Structure 1
Amino acid sequence: MRKIILNITWLFSSMMIFGGCEKTGNFPGAEVSPYIAIFDLRSFYKDADFALSQKSMLGSTGITGVVVSDHSGKNLPSGLLMVQDKLRLNELRGIAINIGTEAEQYVPGDSVIVNLVGGTMKRVDGLLQVTGLTGSAVTKVASDQPIAINRVPSSYILADPDKYESTEVVIVKGGFDPIPAPTDTYSGDKLVNDGFDNFTLHTEASATFANNPLPGMANFFGVVTYSKNAGGKYTPHLRIRRPEDITVLSSTVTQAAVVVSGFVTDVEGTDLDGEYIQLLATRDIDFSVTPFSLVTCNQTSGYTPTGFPANGWATGGLRTYKFDLKTGTAAKGTYFYVGNSKKLINGQNSTSMAQANWIVSRNYGATGTTGDGFGSPNTNLFINSGTFACGIAVFEGTTVTRTSVPIDVIFIGYNGSVLSSTNPPVGYRITNTDWYDIVNPVSLVEQPFYKQGSNTICLAYGTPSDSGWFYKLGGEYNVRLDRWVKARAQRVVDLSKTSTLDELEKEFPAGDGTTEGLFPTKVVQ
């Protein structure tokens, strides 16, 4: 009986092995798809022309995807059909296919199949494309297919252009540098800053919109291609395809005379009278003439009043605490501080910061030391760890109510009773900054509160807790443009008890020649 069982098992296994091998030598029972993902197709190119055949494409014969090119605006390289897909790892990739004048027959949203056999993949003027094909290689199978909005910070494209070339992207909240004159037009190369970096917007002189006047700020849809710089290197740029690719935004810019540049939420040892906020003046300020106020919020679940902040930043109690800034001065481009009364850099027995510019120095946790207008004495203005939200908002003037809109705001953490979607909503108001937008810049829907719409950016708490993390945000605020040209980011310095003021206000840690040092937030022209 045992021998019979072994023979049956062997026979069944043999049928599985030999039966599977009849279909493919790779995966038993599987067949190779005729369509290769563009992600995989691009990976074949190794800085040398690559001939495309069914064999070289590992059994596939072409691609399928959605068209993103549009030649109606006469601003794309002639003959190129640009197609994108997300078939591999949900990674969006695009490829340009040179089919001559027949590329003009296709518009964004067309779904196509392209037979690539017989073509050659090569770099032409910096752009990876397939050459050697004609229009007969393309079959249109559908129209008006949706193209998901792909908002990409300019710094991401500059860091990895190969990932984005020949795909549709949108540069959001792009403003021109320098500020355009009324006679300036799109024609040529223009620098656009979206708060992350400067990026080139290229427009051919023959484009249908080349002589249109430049807006103050806009969203720019387009495709990523290349141009050669003065050094002979190909660098990425954005090409608008048609006038409809431009969404002009409100020219209203929140001019912030004071911005949050850093803070300490959790000093080593007890936090009682240890926390502080570093701020940066973007113009000369005499606080006795032009007062400001700073409000902190803390969403710790046990703090009162509980529930959603009915009065927003003016909720008071243990939830929000207000400092009035109405004495002292700060010169443009300099830092000043609000917080602990002892003026220590990292809690008890640490270095004194008394030589810094302290506009308000107060033991906010002492009995009877209430905030200016609202806020109960609190040993913790901020949360030390976890995911509950806490934040900092700066206001012009010393009156803060439920409807007051700050001139700058920063949040750490996301959870807690932060936003109620009642009508009207209840929450913490934001302003137009490097992180937040009162109106969604893509959908143009109003979103005046934190956690509403696209206003979800926040810092994470430094770990481990009780380490003396200084959040060194490292942005760049351009006073000529009155806007952020380099967004603030999560950068932390692990302070010691002997740390000095230079660690907060200068490059620290310093670069070593191969890596850039950690710079503080600064004012630029």
Structure 2
Amino acid sequence: MKNRYLYIYITAVIFAFAGCKKHDFAAGTVSTITYIEDVRSLYKGTDLIIDKESLTGAGSITGVVISNADSGNVPPKTVVIQSTRKGRIRGLVLNLENSSIYKPGDSLLIKVEGSSLKRVKGSLQISGLTDASIAKISSNNRINIQTASSYNIGLKPDEYESTLVQIKSGLVNPLPAFGDSFIGDKSVVNGADSIILHTEATANYATTALPAGATFTGIVFINNEIPNRTPIQLWPRVSTDITERVAPPNPNGPGLGVFPVVITGIVADAKGGDGNYEYIQFRATKDIDFTKNSLSVITCTNAGTAAPYAGTAPAGGWATGGGRTYKFNLTSGTVAKGEFFYVGGSNQRINGANSTSLSTSKWIRSIAYVTNDGDGFGSKNGGIFPNSGNAGGVAVFEGTIINEESVPLDVVFFGGTGKTTLFNSVDNYGYRIVKNDHYNPVDPATSTAQPFFFQGTNQYIIPHAAVADLGLFLKLGGSFNATTKTWTTARGAVYYQMSLTTPVSEIESGADVTQVTN
């Protein structure tokens, strides 16, 4: 009965807006209501007056309010609505004197015929509306949220403008100081690009602590009045739009120091299909409680078609995301000094399907990466490592807030020697390295800075195995002094061929396994 009354009410409102024109239903009639998407398509770079002819007879649109005037973080006299059509969400700004009377979730019917469509500071909006132009159909409707990376928003801003968008695991750059607040404009890096996080001084959360990273939800606005900066902005509506917050490093907090863990083995090409079977072996050089001192592990793949930055080096380095880098956050569990532990695919098998289970070994983080994105960045994929001749790598970082400038704690590269997709010598970007047994950010002979892989003397790369799909464990055997934090013997590289029944002891013992001494 309730739905019946709602239907009658909507029908009455539509007829009120459409006037008393008699329709010939036998001949078919044009709807008096159209979509936000159709109105947006009218704008061709100059202001215009909306008329029925341009909308094939329609004079009204519907949409759900997504802005929240009560929160204080919305431009004045602004109501933002969005609607969904065939799975596509599109939004629009309404300029209204009494904007505060419209609440999030209100479903509105707006008569747009005779109003103006123009861009104000870059955002497309309708002006010339009055309270009589708008009828509220219902309240507390569901608000759909689009999930997107800042890179994709930058590629197609018109598809996201004036809609509610969620950016997962964004990193504030530069890293905020402990105690900084939200007020103003902050650059948030997400994968290979950035977006401006905007907070008005009037926002009810403006003075709360700014996280170093979080999942940010907000309305996308365009502001092209600020020169030399991306015009795309994300305006959170309320404090609860910012979730999964990671606090900035406390300058008085604990740190892990140099080489708390070292990379000791890689399975990049398990027997059979690789999906969710690839993994990395590490060895701890000190006791670590990951709930107190988190780490992150990032893998990279660099085929010529891998995107973003297909065919060239990734400008975001290890933090590029997409199909280039994939991230695992190590935030729970413990390891003891000298203990091996594993990070990688969720199947936790030593050598692909039906092989020895590693589930009883020490796993700190595993992800079903075939169907799940990485922790913060990295798209779901069939393999986190290349095994067809392209170069791949793995790096481990302190903390989970990683950006282009982050320097790893340890790093290893293997595969092909093509440099095009790894280091851009003209613009000076690529994958950063750390001083370890094979790399040095400063040329020892000339004292020249060389912070990237394949720059200067940083040419070491472990060759790919000649034959694919053998089920090989790459043993990185060396000797590390845990007291002096130095490599007394540099890591070598031995490909050990496994079977389906190989025991875990074969990859955790022997002369080709990294030793941690003292």
Aligned partner of 1:73 among 71, 74, 78: 71
Query: Any idea what the Cα deviations from partners look like across 1:249-299, whole Å, max 9, x if unmatched?
Result: 35599xxxxxxxxxxxxxxxxxxxxxxxxxxxxx98699xx4633234636
* 2:156 equivalent to 1:172: no
CA distance in 1, matches of 2:199, 2:237: 9
How far residue 453 of structure 1 moved from its aligned partner, in angstroms, is: 6.1
Corresponding position of 2:128: 132
Q: Secondary structure at the match of 1:92?
A: strand
TM-score, length-scaled by structure 1: 0.53
Report if the CA contact (8 A) 1:67-1:108 is conserved: yes
Aligned partner of 1:483 among 399, 402, 419: 402
Aligned partner of 1:57 among 33, 45, 55: 55
Query: Any idea what the Cα deviations from partners look like across 1:104-148, whole Å, max 9, x if unmatched?
Result: 112222211111112010011111000101122121112222223
Query: Any idea what the Cα deviations from partners look like across 1:157-213, whole Å, max 9, x if unmatched?
Result: 222222211100112212322222233111111122233422211111222222112
AA at the equivalent of 1:295: V
* 2:214 equivalent to 1:294: no
How far residue 469 of structure 1 moved from its aligned partner, in angstroms, is: 4.8
Corresponding position of 2:89: 92
CA 426–453 in structure 1, closer or farther in 2 if over 3 Å, else same: farther
Q: Which moved more, 1:116-125 or 1:176-185?
A: 176-185
Query: Any idea what the Cα deviations from partners look like across 1:365-394, whole Å, max 9, x if unmatched?
Result: xxxxxxxxxxxxxxxxxxxxxxxxxx9999
Corresponding position of 1:470: 390
Corresponding position of 1:48: 46
CA distance in 2, matches of 1:82, 1:37: 15
Report if the CA contact (8 A) 1:72-1:242 is conserved: no
Report if the CA contact (8 A) 2:280-2:342 is conserved: no
Report if the CA contact (8 A) 1:93-1:163 is conserved: yes
* 2:423 equivalent to 1:506: yes
Report if the CA contact (8 A) 1:82-1:166 is conserved: yes
CA distance in 1, matches of 2:229, 2:328: 44
Report if the CA contact (8 A) 1:393-1:409 is conserved: no
Aligned partner of 1:157 among 143, 153, 163: 153
CA distance in 2, matches of 1:108, 1:429: 44
AA at the equivalent of 1:483: I
Q: Secondary structure at the match of 2:132?
A: helix
CA-based RMSD of the aligned residues comes to 4.9
CA distance in 2, matches of 1:45, 1:84: 17
CA distance in 1, matches of 2:166, 2:329: 30
Corresponding position of 2:103: 107
CA distance in 1, matches of 2:77, 2:95: 5
How far residue 29 of structure 1 moved from its aligned partner, in angstroms, is: 4.7
Query: Any idea what the Cα deviations from partners look like across 1:14-62, whole Å, max 9, x if unmatched?
Result: xxxxxxxx969xxx95422222121121111011112112222211111
AA at the equivalent of 2:39: L
CA distance in 1, matches of 2:361, 2:180: 41
Aligned partner of 1:226 among 219, 222, 226: 222
How far residue 156 of structure 1 moved from its aligned partner, in angstroms, is: 1.5
CA distance in 1, matches of 2:40, 2:280: 55
CA distance in 1, matches of 2:197, 2:108: 28
CA distance in 1, matches of 2:158, 2:227: 20
Q: Secondary structure at the match of 1:247?
A: strand
Aligned partner of 1:205 among 201, 209, 219: 201
CA distance in 2, matches of 1:417, 1:147: 42
* 2:431 equivalent to 1:521: yes
Corresponding position of 1:368: none
CA distance in 2, matches of 1:393, 1:427: 18
Report if the CA contact (8 A) 2:182-2:208 is conserved: yes
Corresponding position of 1:118: 114
CA distance in 2, matches of 1:55, 1:72: 37
Report if the CA contact (8 A) 2:213-2:401 is conserved: no
Aligned partner of 1:181 among 166, 177, 180: 177
Q: How many residues align?
A: 342
Aligned partner of 1:244 among 240, 244, 264: 240
Q: Secondary structure at the match of 1:483?
A: coil
How far residue 219 of structure 1 moved from its aligned partner, in angstroms, is: 1.8
CA distance in 1, matches of 2:46, 2:148: 29
AA at the equivalent of 2:270: N
Report if the CA contact (8 A) 1:66-1:109 is conserved: yes
CA distance in 1, matches of 2:380, 2:47: 45
Report if the CA contact (8 A) 1:472-1:521 is conserved: no
Report if the CA contact (8 A) 2:66-2:104 is conserved: yes
TM-score, length-scaled by structure 2: 0.54
CA distance in 1, matches of 2:203, 2:246: 25
How far residue 222 of structure 1 moved from its aligned partner, in angstroms, is: 1.1
CA 29–297 in structure 1, closer or farther in 2 if over 3 Å, else same: farther
Corresponding position of 1:38: 36
CA distance in 2, matches of 1:429, 1:72: 46
Q: Secondary structure at the match of 1:185?
A: coil
CA 91–70 in structure 1, closer or farther in 2 if over 3 Å, else same: same
Q: Secondary structure at the match of 1:157?
A: helix
Corresponding position of 1:348: none
Report if the CA contact (8 A) 1:119-1:132 is conserved: yes
CA 72–117 in structure 1, closer or farther in 2 if over 3 Å, else same: same
Corresponding position of 1:330: none
Write the mapping of 1:308-347 to structure 2, written as runs, cut at 5 A.
none
CA 41–398 in structure 1, closer or farther in 2 if over 3 Å, else same: farther
Q: Secondary structure at the match of 1:56?
A: helix
How far residue 82 of structure 1 moved from its aligned partner, in angstroms, is: 0.9
Query: Any idea what the Cα deviations from partners look like across 1:468-494, whole Å, max 9, x if unmatched?
Result: 551668x9999898514599xxxxxxx
CA 38–405 in structure 1, closer or farther in 2 if over 3 Å, else same: farther
Report % sequence identity. 26
